[in-house]
Amino acid sequence: QQQVKQSPQSLIVQKGGISIINCAYENTAFDYFPWYQQFPGKGPALLIAIRPDVSEKKEGRFTISFNKSAKQFSLHIMDSQPGDSATYFCAASPTGTYKYIFGTGTRLKVLA
């Protein structure tokens, strides 16, 4: 059963726009929330990650917003570029385990 729900499935954004991808989780014992970026034919690569004691983390154009009470976290891509076109996965790691539970992915297309 999927414990991390990701939306939307696909997203089309104009160049320079803001891309927003959302994830919700059920297990309150998660303690690490990474976002992975995957280009066609490649393996996923870590983009940015956050712990639940922080409400926001920013790295360049990428920001994670985290709402612990709502059990939701989101990825914001500012000034989206065609090179950002990829599939994005959120994930969550249960405390004290070696397991990552991934969302179902969002295919982002940024139009030039």
Partner 1 sequence: NAGVTQTPKFQVLKTGQSMTLQCAQDMNHEYMSWYRQDPGMGLRLIHYSVGAGITDQGEVPNGYNVSRSTTEDFPLRLLSAAPSQTSVYFCASSYDPGQSYEQYFGPGTRLTVT
Task: Report the interface residues with partner 1, using CB under 8 A.
Answer: 2, 6, 9, 31-32, 34, 36, 41-46, 49, 51, 89, 93, 96-105
User: Smallest gap, in angstroms, from Cβ of residue 102 to partner 1?
Assistant: 4
| Rg of the Cα atoms in the chain | 13
User: Smallest gap, in angstroms, from Cβ of residue 34 to partner 1?
Assistant: 8
Q: Which is nearer to partner 1, 13 or 90 (CB)?
A: 90
- Token look-up 């249960």 returns 94
Instruction: Map residue 57 onto helix, strand or coil.
Output: strand
Q: Which is nearer to partner 1, 4 or 77 (CB)?
A: 4
Q: Which residues contact 60 (CB under 8 A, 6 or more apart)?
A: none
Q: Which two tokens stand for residue 6?
A: 């990701």
Q: Which is nearer to partner 1, 46 or 78 (CB)?
A: 46
User: Smallest gap, in angstroms, from Cβ of residue 30 to partner 1?
Assistant: 11
Name the helix (H) or strand (E) containing 47: strand 45-50
